[in-house]
Structure 1
Amino acid sequence: MSSPTSMNSAVHVYKRFVPQPVRSAAASTLPAGVRRKVKGGLARTLNRREARLHRRALRRVRRAGLGHSERRTQAPDGRVGHVHTGLTVDLARRLDHDLVTHALDAAEVPWFAVPALDDRRLCLAVEQRYKGTIRRVLRALLEEHTGYVVSVFPAASDTRETPGSHIKAWKHYGKAKVIRLTWLRTDPTEHLWVGEDQGVEIEFWTANTDLPHERLIGPRPNRVQRAVPAEASGIEIGLDRLSGYCDIDGDLEPTITLEDFDVVRLEEISFPVDAVLLWQHPGRWGEELLRAALRSLHQYAPWVDVVHVVAQAEPPAWLNADERLSVVRAQPGAEWQLDQLPDVADHFLLLRPGALIGRPVRPFDYFTPSGGTRPRRGPWNASESFAEWARAAYSVTGRVTGHGYAAGPQPYRAETLTRLGEAGAQPLPLTDDQTLPAVPGTHPMDGVVHHFGYVAGLADPSGEASVALHAALPGLGTHLERLLVRRDVQQLQLVGLGAKEAGARGGTEAIVRFLHQYFPVPSVFEHVRPQTPTEPDIHS
C-alpha cells in the first residue's frame, strides 16, 4: 500500500503533467475508482523509483565511510545518541560539518559555507536545483549515522523527534528554504550531551539571471550579503572565521566559502586571549576546583591560547605542562601583578578558585574587537557602596562607582594593571572566598581594576551575570541538579568549599560530585584521566 507521502507526490506529478482541461474532462467522464487506480499506480511507481534512488545514495554514503561512533545510546528524551570518548562541543561541531560536507561531496553536489547570523551553528549553501539529490543523500546519511532534520525556514519542528532516515521526517522538505541537521552526541559517562543547540543548517540558494551576470540569491540574511556572483571563486577559511565558538587553530582542517564571504565579522576577535588560573588550595576539593576550571576551558572556550597556572602552593602532579600550559610559582597576593607574568597575552581571562565556564562562550563575550574588556555587572547595595574597593576605585579615578561586578571568570588586560600601578593604586587585602561563611560581594581587585578600566576607556561593563553558589547553601542539591539538567548558565562561581558549615552539611562533597558530572571529559591539560571515587575524601 502506498504511503501518504507517495500519494501526495503522485497527486503533484498528476497535476504537473496532466493539463487542467484534461483533468476536468476525466473528472466528469471517468469513474472515481479508475482515477484512484491511476493515481495509485503512479504512487507505486514513484515509491519504487524513490526506494531505488535511496539505496543508491546509501551505497554511496557507505562507500565513503561516513558516520562512525563508538556505540549508540538513548538520550534522556528517548532519541538516539552517539558516544564519543573525549567529546567536546567543538569536536561535535566539526564532526557534524565533516559528515554533511563529505556526503555532499560524495553526491557531487557543490556547496560553500556561509557566515550565518547564529554563531552556534555552521551553515552551508547549495543551489536549489540540487534539492532532490540532497534529500536522498542526506536521508541515506541519517540512516547510516542516526540524526534528525527539521525545517528552519519556514519553521516546522514537529519532526524533531523523528529519525531523519524516515520518510515522514522530510514532509516539510518541499517547501523548506533552510533545513537543519542535528546529531546528539555524548561522552561514555553520558553526563555531557551535545548537539541540540548546534547542528548544520543548509540553505537553498536560487539562481537569478535577470542581470548580465548570473547571481545566487540566499533565502535569508547573513553577516555579509544575500547575493553573490554565480562564478565567484571558492577559498579555504577556518571554522573560527564562521563561528566565534570554534577553536582558533590553523592546523585544523578548514572549510570552503566564496571569496565574497571572506569578510571580518563585526564581533570577530583577532588578538590572542590567554587564561590565568589561581591555585592556592592543596587537598581534594581544591584540586577538583582546579581540574574543573581547566576542563571548562577545554570544553567551552577552545579558543583560549595559553593557560597560565599561578601556583601559591605545590602544583598537583597531574598537571600536564607543555606549550599550552605553564605553571608559575608565586607568593600570596601575586594576582595584583599579573601583568608581570612571563609571556602572558595582553588580554586574558582570570579564573580564581571556583570560577568556571558553564556553557560555550566566545571571545566576544569577554572582549570587544577594539581590545576593551567586557566585565559583568553585579548587584549594588549599601554594603557595596561603602566597601573598601569602592573607596579605592574613587581615589584612583576621581569617579564614583555605580555598580558592582559579578563573580566568575574575569576579562583582564595587562595594560590596565600596568596603568593602574602607574596611577599609584595600592593593592587591597584579599580574603579567601573558599573559607567565607557566605557568598561575598564584588571582589576587591575586580572592583578596582574594572572601574579603572571603564574610566580609562579600556572596559565596557556588560554581558550576562554569573551564578554564585555557597557550599553551605540550604537546598544546594536542588540548585546543582538544575544546573546539571539545564546547563544554561554561562558562568559559575562556587565558594565556601572550605567553610566549616559546608563540611558539616555535606555541601563540599555534593559540589565535588557535581563537578565530576558537569565536566566528565578530561582536558588536554591533564596527564591521565583521574579515577572518580565513589565517596570522595573531601577532607584530605
Structure 2
Amino acid sequence: MTDANSAARVYQRIVPRPVRAVAGSRVPPRVRRKVKGGLVRTLNRREARLHQRALRLVRKGDFASASERRTRTPDGRVGHVHRGLTVDLARRLDHDLVTSALDAAEIPWFAVPALDDRRICIAVEQQDKGQVRRVLRALLEEHTGYVVSASPVNDDTRMTPGSHLKAWKNYGRAKAIRVVWLRTEPTENLWVGEDQGIEIEFWTVNTDLPHERLVGPRPNRVQRVVPRDAVGIEIAFDRLSGYSDIDGDLNPSVTLEAFDIPRLEEISFPVDAVLLWEHPGPWGEELLRATLRSLHQYAPWTDVIHVVAHAPVPPWLAGFDGRLAVVHRHPADGLFHLIPDIAEHFLLFRPGALLGRPTRPFDYFMPDGTTRPRRAKWTAEESFAPWTAQAYATTGRAVTQSYAPGPQPYSCSVLGRLANTGAMGAAAPDGQTHPRLPECHPADGLFHHFTYAHGQADPSGEPTAVLHAALPDISLRLQRLLVRRDLQQLQFFGLGSDEALLRGGGKKVVEFLRRYFPVASPFEHAHPEDPETYT
C-alpha cells in the first residue's frame, strides 16, 4: 500500500503553497484528513493497477533462469535450488532475470564495469526509476528475491522479500540498488548470492552542453560521464567481471562503446592448470575430485587442465571439450614447462591444494606475466632448509621469505631459464603421508625466489588455510571453514598418515570436501548425487 508520506509528497506537488497555507488555517482538520485519505486510496489503486500491468509483462517473458524448486536459507529467507550451480552461473542467471524484465518493460539499459567486479552493474536513466521499481517488484514476486540500497549503503530490508512494498522504503533516496537472489544446489551445502546480486544505477541526464550526457551516480572502473547517444555494443562477461569464464561472444551483455576499455587488472593471456595425481585410492581420488571441482566452481577462467599422472587415473575421470589432458609420461618436478601444449602461464596444484572461494587470474598473475605467489610465515627452521641455500647459490641473493602451499603460479619461460641453470628442487617428503605439516615445497620455493630475484614475481599476502588431517581439533577447524568459506586457498596434508588413519582425520577431511564442493565438475563421469561418484 502507498504510505502517508507518499500521499503528502503528491499533495505538496499538486497543491500550491499559498493554497496549502490558507487551507491549513481555514479548513477543518477533519476535512483535511478526509482529502488526504482519499488521495492515499487513489494512489493505492493506481499503484495496484501499475503493478498488475508490470506483473503481466513479467509473466509473458521467457525466463530461462527459473529454479527447480524453492527452499529456505539457514536464516529463514527464500532460496532457489539449481542443479549444477556455480558462482559464475548464478551471476549470469541474475543478469538474465533483470535484463529480461527491463526488456519486457522496454526500459533502455546498459552494463557498467563496476568497481567491485564480483557483481554485474546495470545502468538505467533516472527518468525510468519509477517504472524500474514496478517491473522489478513484479519480477521479485514471480522469482522471490531481495532488494537493498547499494548507494547509499542500507541493507535493513535484506530480510524482506522484494515483492513487498516495505522492501522499497529506501528506494526514493537510493542512487543505486542491489537485487539479490539466494541460490543453492540440491544438497544445500553451497549457497550463492549474498555477496553478488545485480546492482542497478540511476544515471542522470546533463543538458548543459549541446550534446546530452549521462552522468553516473558513483565511480566505476572507466568513467562516470558518457554521451547519451553513445553506440551500444556487445561485451563478454569476463570483460565486466574478472571472476567470470572467458567465453568470448557466448551469451554476452550490452554496454556502451565508451566502456569497452581493458581493465588495469585484466589478464588477456590464457592460464592453464596442472594437477599432480599421485595417490590412488579413495582419499587420493577425493583430493583429485575436489581440486577439479574447485577449479570448476571458483576458477572458470582456466583454459586447459593437465593431469600429470604418476599412477593409473581413476575410471571416472573424463575429458570435456578438450579442456582436460592426461599426461602419462610425466616430467620431473621442475620441468613442467615440457608438458605438451601447456600455456606459458599455469597454476600448479599439488595433492591437497584447492581453491576455497572465487578467484581471478589477477590473483595469481599480473597483466605483464609477473607471477603473484602467496607469502608464508618466515621461521628460523625455514631459513635453514636446503632449498634456501640452493636458491642463494643460484641467484646470489639471500632468501628472506617463505611461500605458502596451495595453488602455485608458474610461467614456462622462467621455469625453462631456471632449468638451464642446472638447479633443481631437493626431494620433498610426501605431504599426504608425512606425520606433520611440511615446510615450503623445495621446488616451489626455489622457483618463486628465482622469479622474485629477477623481478618477475610479486609475492602477496593473501592467507591460506593449511591443515593436517591428524590434528586433534580437525573437526572444529573444518566446521569453521565450511561455515565461513572466506579463504581463497586451502591446502590439506596428511590424509594418508598413520595418525590421521588412526584418529579418523582422513575420513573427516573427505566428508568435508564432499560438503564444501557438492557440485560435480564436467570432468567426472558420475552424477554428484550418484553414490558411485564416491566409490
Q: TM-score range by the shorter chain?
A: over 0.9
Change beyond 3 A, Cα 1:263–1:61: same
| Aligned residue in 2 for 1:436 | 434
Describe how 1:83-482 pairs up with structure 2 within 5 A. 83-322=81-320, 323-330=322-329, 334-482=332-480
Q: What's the secondary structure of 2:199's corresponding residue? A: strand
Runs of 4 or more off by more than 6 Å in structure 1? 534-537
Q: Which amino acid aligns with 1:8?
A: N
| Aligned residue in 2 for 1:9 | 6
Q: What's the secondary structure of 2:333's corresponding residue? A: helix
The whole-number CA distance in structure 2 between the counterparts of 1:89 and 1:443 is: 31
Tell me the CA shift for residue 427 of structure 1.
Answer: 3.6
1:24 pairs, out of 21, 24, 36, with: 21
Q: Which amino acid aligns with 2:422?
A: G
The whole-number CA distance in structure 2 between the counterparts of 1:328 and 1:91 is: 30
Describe how 1:502-521 pairs up with structure 2 within 5 A. 502-521=500-519
Change beyond 3 A, Cα 1:264–1:279: same
Tell me the CA shift for residue 532 of structure 1.
Answer: 6.6
| Aligned residue in 2 for 1:35 | 32
- Percent identical: 67
The whole-number CA distance in structure 1 between the counterparts of 2:494 and 2:531 is: 22
Q: Which amino acid aligns with 2:278?
A: Q
Q: Which amino acid aligns with 2:128?
A: Y
The whole-number CA distance in structure 2 between the counterparts of 1:55 and 1:171 is: 20
The whole-number CA distance in structure 1 between the counterparts of 2:37 and 2:484 is: 48
Tell me the CA shift for residue 533 of structure 1.
Answer: 5.7
The whole-number CA distance in structure 2 between the counterparts of 1:92 and 1:352 is: 29
**Can you list the C-alpha shifts for 1:170-222, whole angstroms capped at 9, x where unaligned?**
00111110000000000000001000010000000000000111100000000
Asked whether the equivalents of residues 236 and 251 of structure 2 are also in contact (C-alpha less than 8 Å), the reply is yes
**Can you list the C-alpha shifts for 1:344-383, whole angstroms capped at 9, x where unaligned?**
0010000010000000000000000111100001111111
Q: Which amino acid aligns with 1:230?
A: R
Q: Which amino acid aligns with 1:48?
A: R
**Can you list the C-alpha shifts for 1:393-444, whole angstroms capped at 9, x where unaligned?**
0010000011100111011111111000112213421221001111111111
Asked whether the equivalents of residues 470 and 496 of structure 1 are also in contact (C-alpha less than 8 Å), the reply is yes
Tell me the CA shift for residue 224 of structure 1.
Answer: 0.7
Matched, 1:45 2:72: no
Q: Which amino acid aligns with 1:15?
A: Q
Tell me the CA shift for residue 68 of structure 1.
Answer: 1.2
Deviates more, 1:58-67 or 1:214-223: 58-67
The whole-number CA distance in structure 2 between the counterparts of 1:251 and 1:259 is: 16
Tell me the CA shift for residue 536 of structure 1.
Answer: 7.4
Change beyond 3 A, Cα 1:190–1:247: same
Describe how 1:55-66 pairs up with structure 2 within 5 A. 55-66=52-63
Q: Which amino acid aligns with 1:327?
A: V
Deviates more, 1:419-428 or 1:143-152: 419-428
The whole-number CA distance in structure 1 between the counterparts of 2:221 and 2:62 is: 34
Asked whether the equivalents of residues 236 and 249 of structure 2 are also in contact (C-alpha less than 8 Å), the reply is no
Q: Which amino acid aligns with 1:267?
A: E
The whole-number CA distance in structure 2 between the counterparts of 1:530 and 1:198 is: 25
The whole-number CA distance in structure 2 between the counterparts of 1:41 and 1:530 is: 59
Q: Which amino acid aligns with 1:69?
A: S
Deviates more, 1:351-360 or 1:449-458: 449-458
The whole-number CA distance in structure 2 between the counterparts of 1:395 and 1:321 is: 42
The whole-number CA distance in structure 2 between the counterparts of 1:410 and 1:202 is: 37
Asked whether the equivalents of residues 526 and 533 of structure 2 are also in contact (C-alpha less than 8 Å), the reply is no
The whole-number CA distance in structure 1 between the counterparts of 2:474 and 2:71 is: 30
2:71 pairs, out of 70, 73, 81, with: 73
The whole-number CA distance in structure 1 between the counterparts of 2:373 and 2:444 is: 9
**Can you list the C-alpha shifts for 1:318-349, whole angstroms capped at 9, x where unaligned?**
11124000001145x72221000000001000
The whole-number CA distance in structure 2 between the counterparts of 1:195 and 1:427 is: 43
Tell me the CA shift for residue 251 of structure 1.
Answer: 4.9
**Can you list the C-alpha shifts for 1:109-132, whole angstroms capped at 9, x where unaligned?**
000000010011000100000001
**Can you list the C-alpha shifts for 1:213-245, whole angstroms capped at 9, x where unaligned?**
110000000011100011100011001001000
The whole-number CA distance in structure 2 between the counterparts of 1:32 and 1:274 is: 75
Asked whether the equivalents of residues 215 and 226 of structure 2 are also in contact (C-alpha less than 8 Å), the reply is yes
The whole-number CA distance in structure 1 between the counterparts of 2:425 and 2:26 is: 97
Q: Which amino acid aligns with 1:518?
A: Y
Change beyond 3 A, Cα 1:186–1:374: same
The whole-number CA distance in structure 1 between the counterparts of 2:427 and 2:8 is: 79
Change beyond 3 A, Cα 1:536–1:292: closer
Q: What's the secondary structure of 1:40's corresponding residue? A: helix
Asked whether the equivalents of residues 291 and 355 of structure 2 are also in contact (C-alpha less than 8 Å), the reply is yes
**Can you list the C-alpha shifts for 1:467-516, whole angstroms capped at 9, x where unaligned?**
10000111111111111111101000000000000011110000010010
**Can you list the C-alpha shifts for 1:441-467, whole angstroms capped at 9, x where unaligned?**
111111100000111122111140211
Which structure 2 segments of 5+ residues have no match?
Answer: none
The whole-number CA distance in structure 1 between the counterparts of 2:30 and 2:511 is: 68
TM-score normalized by the length of structure 1: 0.97
Q: Which amino acid aligns with 2:24?
A: A
The whole-number CA distance in structure 2 between the counterparts of 1:243 and 1:225 is: 16
* Alignment length (residue pairs): 533
The whole-number CA distance in structure 1 between the counterparts of 2:427 and 2:125 is: 63
Asked whether the equivalents of residues 374 and 463 of structure 1 are also in contact (C-alpha less than 8 Å), the reply is no
Change beyond 3 A, Cα 1:485–1:158: same
| Aligned residue in 2 for 1:524 | 522
Q: Which amino acid aligns with 2:363?
A: D
Q: What's the secondary structure of 1:488's corresponding residue? A: coil
Tell me the CA shift for residue 266 of structure 1.
Answer: 0.2
**Can you list the C-alpha shifts for 1:28-82, whole angstroms capped at 9, x where unaligned?**
1111111111001000000000001001100100000335110000001110000
TM-score normalized by the length of structure 2: 0.98
Asked whether the equivalents of residues 79 and 181 of structure 2 are also in contact (C-alpha less than 8 Å), the reply is yes
Asked whether the equivalents of residues 509 and 536 of structure 1 are also in contact (C-alpha less than 8 Å), the reply is no
Q: Which amino acid aligns with 1:63?
A: K
Tell me the CA shift for residue 530 of structure 1.
Answer: 5.2
The whole-number CA distance in structure 2 between the counterparts of 1:180 and 1:129 is: 18
Tell me the CA shift for residue 20 of structure 1.
Answer: 1.1
Question: Could you say what the CA RMSD is over the residues aligned between the two structures, in angstroms?
Answer: 1.4
Asked whether the equivalents of residues 125 and 202 of structure 1 are also in contact (C-alpha less than 8 Å), the reply is yes
Tell me the CA shift for residue 529 of structure 1.
Answer: 2.0
